Structure 1
Amino acid sequence: MQIKLVLKPILAIIFVLLAAPNAALAYESSDYIDELLVSDTFHPPGEGDPEYLYNEWHYFNMIDEEQNLSVVCTFKLNGGTNSSEVLLGYYVNETSASFYESYPLTSEVVNYSSQSPDVRIANNTVTLTDEGYRVHIESGNGSGIFDALFKPETRPAPVFSASNFSVPGMGINWLVASPKMEVSGNLSVAGVTYSLNNSRAYHDHNWGYWSWGEDLGWDWGQVSQAGNYSNETAAEYSISFGNITNANHSQSVSSVLNVWKDGEIIASFSEEEIQIEHYNLNTKDIGISQGEMSPAYILPEGFFTFPQNTLVNASSGSETLKIKFTTRQPVPLPVMIPVGNDSGIKDGTKDGIKDGNESGIESGSEIKYRIIWEIIGTYQVAGEIDGKSVSYTADGFMEYVAGESVSPISPS
């Protein structure tokens, strides 16, 4: 009896110690979600806002090194075309594919609100629950389904905003909701189901008022330290950067780079503290999905280039970072631009946008395109942050937008 009496309090202490880390993680995750319920909400145009310039989207990505699988998905709202779009792109074992759905931006098809991060576009949804973001996407013919839970492991960053553009009312906002997430769920495509179990993931949110036809470009990238690489750094770091530029990337409008560790931002660089250079621009035409453009037209070959190599240098006092990115798989995402004048406004009013067909484009109106390059590749990170050496290699994502808008052409 004495042995049993002694063991009971010992076992109780062990159970408490084992439960404490899980309880702390659950508390932190709940804390992050409470913040996201406020900061990650949508921003519908209000009275007097230039609705024809309205753009907003949720963006998610994930990487599973064991299965050599990467996934990107977006839920996009576009006031200029009066459309809502869902895109899922995936890259597995050196093969990439995607499915894309477009719908009118109407209350019958789309639900979103300034009170919530949730969005519904037809049967595709993002829902922020107590555990994280439940993301569900299905192709129109039912051949592809992505259903996953993205759990945030960091606090969101402060909102990054750029507003000093040539057109009055233009402004771009970017929230890194969580640069480091764990995702679990399933991707079913081409008759194969891939199970995800705590894979690395990321989520951000973009919104504002701008025309894709303006003198506009950008760089964006993110990488989280992976556990399966031989890393010199013991702690886990996450990095994201953004840079709004002019179309030919000769001038930066505004830029930021943040570093997270243990769920918090521990270093931040901005403006002149950041230099981004691109090398070995590739003009190879790798094709545009027929679902994303009218099948009767294609984009001029080689017009939109993407970099094979990118170098990011950041320095502020004793804190420095040198980041090298090597492109492995570039994926072109076409952006449709209705053309009426330089701002993309038809007949001088935003009301002309609303009177078109179900895609929001007036019959017979001219359409141009730009390309967002969504690039999968490898980052090499080195430097000194918070008095400690940082050095690691991991796969991650980058976006590159450059060049003027162009008209599609008929296939030869």
Structure 2
Amino acid sequence: MRTKVGRYSIYIKPLFYIIDLTIINLLIYYFQTNLYEKAIFAIYITIMWIVLSIKNKFYEVYRFSKFTQTFALLIRQFLVFLLILYAFIGVFKQPEISRIEIAKYYIACFLSISILKYVLQNFLAKYRIIFGGNLRKVIVIGDNKKTSQLIEIFKEEEEFGYVFKKKFNVNDQDFTLKSCFEYVIENNIDELYCSVAELSNKQLEKIVTFCDNNLKVLKFIPDNKEIFTKKLNFNYYRYVPILSFREIPLDDPINFITKRGFDIVLSLFVLLFILSWLTPLLFILMQLESKGPIFFKQRRNGLDYKEFYCYKYRSMRPGNDQKQTTRQDYRVTRIGRFIRKTSIDELPQFINVLKGDMSVVGPRPHMVKHNENFIQKVDKFMVRHFVKPGITGLAQVSGFRGEIENNQDIVNRVKYDIFYIENWSILLDIKIVVLTVINAIKGEDKAY
């Protein structure tokens, strides 16, 4: 049996713990918070920080993690940490504590830890590229599109610190697991990546046994043809291993509250500072061209496929509005064409957001009769209804908005929607909102 050589990554997480705990404890003495017993406060925040970090998986950051993922963890960690700080005042009955100084302390902690985390993460990436440290030698077993993509990533993303050594084609006449294992031992390979689709159960069992006995890291590349999801959740029910097909971040109460708070703040801002004056102005302009109400509502399917009325500014002449709008649609008025082109017609949906029917960002809701058609034609279409629909979404800012001209349009839209559902973060929501505003200002070809 072999042992792991030169493996010091195990010290990175404890080091980050020590650095962060040192920061939040030292900063206590910098601010005039009027604490009676700073030692008690230090013990309190240390324990709570550790518990919170374990709950939020704050230090579960890997070499392939992007900084956007790290930043999302920071936001989540410090939102709860803020509550923990102010809870101390009530729990330990210290009314003399300066709330302003506590707020300054909180901001200092957030900025210090965020900056240091960014610096350290970049330092490790540069360390791998420039000095060749903290590297992992890897092999790939299997020859298909997925393995080729993975090998390309290993070669291009030097900051990940993976050194690709060899690919083993299972279908080669001279391939044997014995020769593969000998290569792993002789070249001191750290990690093996196996394509599940190309290996039999017996071969997989031998690979697992070999890796266990030789302390090698084993990872699998799933065969996900025609499967848009990529997130699997592994749990145990007593001693029985259970693999969940999909894990949705918004099922987490903290994530849900964070997103709902973001929705409420943004929708109130739009309603008070934009719709309050825009609505009467548009009403006057609409009446000059086409008599009728300023709003129209349409039945759409939302969370858990429940129906709700979606609000929009009226952009067509009153009458048949149940057909999907097409390019140069005769029903669209001149002012309607403008508000559709700039996406202004969608703004009343912030009323839906405030009511809780919709979210600012999420899969775009379709008309009920269109959904009934898409369900029959598009695999995984119903997954979009695991979360609230949105005014804008990842699919829309990625070029898949407007009219569904062919089946591939809706298939691509579903792919992006599922990716969003499984990879949600508040940072991703903010990015999508910013891109939506930019696209609205520039104008989009499919906005008609």
TM, length-normalised to structure 2: 0.20
Q: Which has the higher helix share?
A: 2
Kindly indicate whether structure 1 or structure 2 has the higher relative contact order, using CA contacts under 8 Å at least 6 residues apart. 1
TM, length-normalised to structure 1: 0.21
